[in-house]
Every structure is written in C-alpha cells, then in structure tokens.
C-alpha cells in the first residue's frame, strides 16, 4: 500500500512538472523546492508518504464568485464570458458549484462532479473525501454538489472560474460550507456579490458573518472584492448613496472597515431610468467598477505565480519557526506530565508494597521457619521470575497508558491553541509521530529535526528570493532584457 500511494503522488507531481515545463519554467523549479519541503515533512512526521505540499497548492489561477441568492452572479459570468453559460433568474436556479474552464470545442459541455473529484488538475480533486469526513454518506453524492462546464472563450484561457450556489448560511448543509471554505482558501480572487434590491442587509446577518467576518483577519484578505450588484434598481428613487451606505454599515458591523465596495449592474438586464442624466451617471459608475473588476480577474495569472512562491516561503518558515519550536514545547510538556504521574504512581506503589510487607511479615516468617521454603528450590526460582515478569509487564502497561493518556489530552488542546487549521493539522501529526510507543520519552527534540533539516529549510528560503527575482524579470522586466515568457499550455477539457 505504501509503494502504491507513494507512486500515485509521484505521478501527480510528475504530471504537474510536465505541464509547467512548457507553461512556466520558474514554477517548475518551485516544484523541486516543494519536494525538498516534503522530505523534511516526511522525516518530522508532518506528512504521510502519499502526500505533498505541492498538491495542496492550486497551480492554475482561480476566480471564485460567491453571493446571496439572486445577487446576479450568473448574469455577471455570462456577460463576462460573452456566452450564456449559467442559467439566470430571480430565484435560486442552480444549487451546485460550477467550475468553468477553457475548451477548444465551441459547444458548451456540462460534465458531472466526478470529472472534478477524480482529476488532480482541478482544485476539487478528491473533495468527496473531505465531504465524507464532515457528513457521512454525502461524499458518494459528489454529483449533487459539483459540475464542470467548458467554454470556448479567450477570457478563460489560463484561469478557472467557479460559480457558487446562492449562499444562505442558515439553510446550508455542513458539506456545502466545507466546499465553500475549500474554494475560498484555494482562490486567487474572490468576488462576493450582494443584491442592491435588498436595501436592509441587516436581516442577512448570518450570511454576512460567514462571507465577511471570516475574511477580514486572513493574510490574503486583499483577494476579496465586495460587489453591490443590480444598482439600477435604485435609479427611480435615485437613492444609490443611501443603499450603498446601508450595506457599508452592515459590513462595518462585521468588522470590514476598509477596502473597495464596487457598484455595478448589467446593461442588458437593466430597468428603465427616469432620465438620460441618471442613466449616464449610473452607467459611468458601473463601467468604471466593472473595468477594475475585470482587470483584477485578468491579473490573477501573474498574481498566481507570486502566490505559489509565497506559499512555499510561508511553509518553509512555518516548519522552522513555528512547528519545530511548538513541537519541542509540546513534547516537553508531555514528557514532564508522564514523568510526574509515573513518579506519583511509583511512590504509591512503593508505599503499598511496604504496607503489604509489614502487614504480612509474620505469616511470611512463619512460612520460612516451617522449612517449606527449603523444600523445592526449582519453584522458588520460578515464582520469583514470574513475579518479576508480572511486575515488569505491569510497569510497562502503566507507562504506556500514561503516555497515551497525556498524548490525547495535548492533542485535544492543539486546535484550540492554534486557530490556523493548516498549522494545527501539521502539529497534531508531528506530535503523534513523536509520541509513538517506540520513541524514547527522554528525547528533547522532534523526530528528524536537526542540522541537515535546518540547512535544507534555509536553502528553500534562499531559493524563494531567487524565484521572485526571476518572476520580476519575466513580468516586470526591470533589467530591460528580452525575457519573453514561453508559450503557455492551456488547461483544456476535450
């Protein structure tokens, strides 16, 4: 099983390297650095042999579109692509996550969720396993959650769009929220749509909390764009400023006090305007914001390359400056607890043995005086050996029971003490590896942690600086040399 799973991850990385060889040689070198981090993680017990940090990173640019029901997400996508890909309407017309990617075929194709779950090129590879963890039995119904659509349009070259079902936090199942969070984590750009036709956003507090509150403390919070759509509905009363202010107050209550709040509408689906002057003013504002949004969508391919290098650097630093020191501290706490409890139990055992010897000293002396003690030396030796073996077995059983008990207690505290899921998952794995039965409790450092590992991490960190410089030459070209990127290979679905 080990060889099979290890070869599967090797094939996935080899396929990725084949793609990047012609698409972006800089990122091809980054994969090699991820392999170095994998070797460190294997030695420290942070990853299984069938896992890789490289497969935790989306290597294709990804734009996700979230929003409340009837907020105009699908209409925006159709307008952006210039084709009617998604169904539109005032009610919830699609309850699946739709991944939209480039294809050479003119005909739009719709493929089941299995096409995403079983293809490692896409960000939802084996998402059914994650769904199964949070909702037993739902992983088998992957087609009820996901679908893949292909489209021939130049705007999809080099990127993936994801349209989410209308978001209503109260009505969402746990599995759908799991996919939403997974999608947000992997995206290079997240557009969050709100409906200007609902001027009282306070009633949508739960939805706003999940779409906004959980984003403001993220290190990548700048990838979220908040869009007030269908502003043409405010034209008759000409109260756009009041509606915008109402939404901004609601977002501020969730903690979002900075950042752009875009205001757009679709010209083809627009309502009538009371005058040409009002129409021109609304149209100018909408077009200005639409151009900014589309420019950000256009830039995700360049931003993607820097983001991947950033993930590489973050992971290397996290192992060296957070995971290794935290593991050392946790192992110290675990060792002290075990030794203290063993000392207490040992003291109780010695006291009990002393009491027993004192209490039964006269019967034992009588037995020795009777001469029976002298009558059979062979069973005397057997009895002593059996007693010693029993005491040794009991001592080992108590020792490992104490180890397991304290290990579980500390493992249960790690998620509470470490909010970042990626960090506490790695800590829990590393701690479990370092508290396995055959590892000595007297070792003071994590398994695999030493000078060679530290030097490997420093090597990766130095390489990240070089990768950034290479990207700067490729995209910004500060040297003035001819650094034309190689032709890119597109992600096609035939």
CA atoms of 315 and 37, how far apart (whole Å): 8
Phi, psi of 193 (to 5 degrees): -95, 140
Question: Which of 99-108, 114-123, 303-312, 484-493 has the weakest average pLDDT?
Answer: 484-493
What's the mean pLDDT in 344-358? 66
The alpha carbon of 130 is separated from its chain's Cα centroid by a whole number of angstroms, namely 11
Stated pTM of the model:
0.66
Domain boundaries defined on the chain: 61-298
Which overall architecture, per CATH, does domain 61-298 show? 3-Layer(aba) Sandwich (3.40)
Three-class SS state of 138: helix
What is the average pLDDT across 151-163?
A: 85
DSSP for residue 70:
T
* Contact between residue 274 and residue 85 where contact means Cβ atoms under 8 Å apart: no
Q: Per residue in 247-282, is it b (16+ CB within 10 Å) or e — as a string?
A: bbebbebbebeeeeebbbbbeeebeebeeeebbeeb
In the predicted model, what is the mean pLDDT of the chain? 77
The pLDDT tens digits for 387-396 are: 666 666 767 7
User: What's the token pair of residue 374?
Assistant: 């002298």
Return the higher-pLDDT residue of 228 and 356: 228
**34: pLDDT strictly greater than 90:** yes
Q: Do strands 97-102 and 160-163 pair parallel, antiparallel, or not at all (unpaired)? A: antiparallel
Q: What confidence score (pLDDT) does residue 256 get? A: 66
Whether the CB-CB separation of 94 and 163 falls below 8 Å is answered with yes
Q: Closest by alpha carbon to 72, among 87, 61, 83?
A: 87
Model confidence pLDDT, tens digit, residues 77-127: 888 888 888 776 655 455 788 888 888 888 888 888 888 777 766 777 777
Cα 107–Cα 111–Cα 116 angle in degrees, nearest 5: 130
Look at residue 173 in the predicted model and tell me its pLDDT: 59
């Amino acid at each position: 099983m080990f060889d099979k799973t290890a070869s599967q991850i090797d094939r996935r990385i080899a396929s990725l390297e084949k793609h990047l060889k012609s698409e972006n040689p800089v990122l091809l070198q980054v994969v090699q650095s991820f392999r170095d981090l994998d070797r460190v993680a294997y030695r420290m017990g942070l990853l299984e042999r069938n896992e890789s940090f490289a497969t935790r990173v989306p290597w294709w640019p990804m734009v996700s579109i979230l929003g409340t029901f009837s907020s105009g997400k699908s209409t925006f996508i159709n307008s952006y692509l210039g084709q009617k890909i998604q169904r539109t309407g005032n009610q919830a017309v699609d309850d699946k996550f739709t991944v939209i990617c480039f294809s050479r075929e003119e005909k739009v194709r719709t493929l089941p969720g299995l096409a995403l779950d079983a293809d490692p090129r896409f960000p939802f590879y084996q998402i059914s396993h994650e769904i199964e963890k949070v909702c037993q039995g739902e992983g088998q119904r992957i087609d009820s959650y996901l679908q893949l659509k292909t489209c021939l349009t130049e705007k999809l070259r080099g990127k993936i769009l994801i349209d989410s079902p209308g978001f209503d936090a109260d009505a969402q199942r746990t599995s759908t929220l799991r996919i939403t969070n997974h999608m947000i984590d992997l995206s290079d750009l997240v557009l969050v749509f709100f409906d200007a036709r609902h001027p009282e956003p306070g009633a949508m507090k739960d939805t706003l909390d999940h779409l906004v509150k959980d984003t403001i403390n993220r290190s990548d919070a700048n990838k979220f764009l908040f869009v007030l759509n269908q502003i043409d509905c405010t034209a008759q009363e000409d109260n756009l400023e009041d509606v915008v202010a109402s939404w901004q107050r609601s977002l501020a209550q969730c903690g979002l006090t900075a950042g752009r709040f875009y205001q757009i509408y679709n010209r083809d689906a627009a309502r009538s305007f009371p005058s040409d002057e009002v129409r021109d003013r609304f149209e100018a504002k909408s077009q200005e914001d639409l151009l900014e949004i589309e420019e950000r969508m256009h830039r995700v391919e360049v931003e993607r390359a820097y983001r991947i290098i950033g993930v590489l650097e973050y992971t290397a630093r996290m192992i060296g400056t957070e995971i290794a020191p935290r593991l050392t501290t946790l192992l110290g706490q675990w060792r002290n607890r075990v030794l203290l409890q063993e000392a207490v139990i040992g003291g109780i055992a010695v006291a009990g043995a002393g009491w027993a010897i004192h209490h039964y000293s006269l019967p034992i002396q009588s037995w020795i005086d009777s001469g029976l003690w002298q009558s059979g030396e062979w069973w005397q030796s057997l009895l002593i050996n059996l007693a010693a073996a029993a005491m040794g077995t009991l001592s080992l059983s108590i020792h490992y029971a104490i180890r397991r008990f304290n290990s579980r207690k500390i493992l249960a505290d790690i998620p509470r003490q470490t909010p970042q899921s990626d960090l506490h998952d790695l800590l829990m794995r590393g701690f479990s590896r370092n508290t396995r039965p055959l590892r000595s409790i007297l070792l003071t450092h994590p398994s695999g942690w030493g000078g060679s590992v530290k030097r490997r991490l420093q090597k990766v960190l130095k390489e990240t600086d070089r990768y950034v410089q290479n990207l700067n030459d490729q995209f910004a070209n500060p040297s003035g040399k001819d650094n034309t990127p190689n032709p890119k290979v597109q992600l096609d679905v035939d």
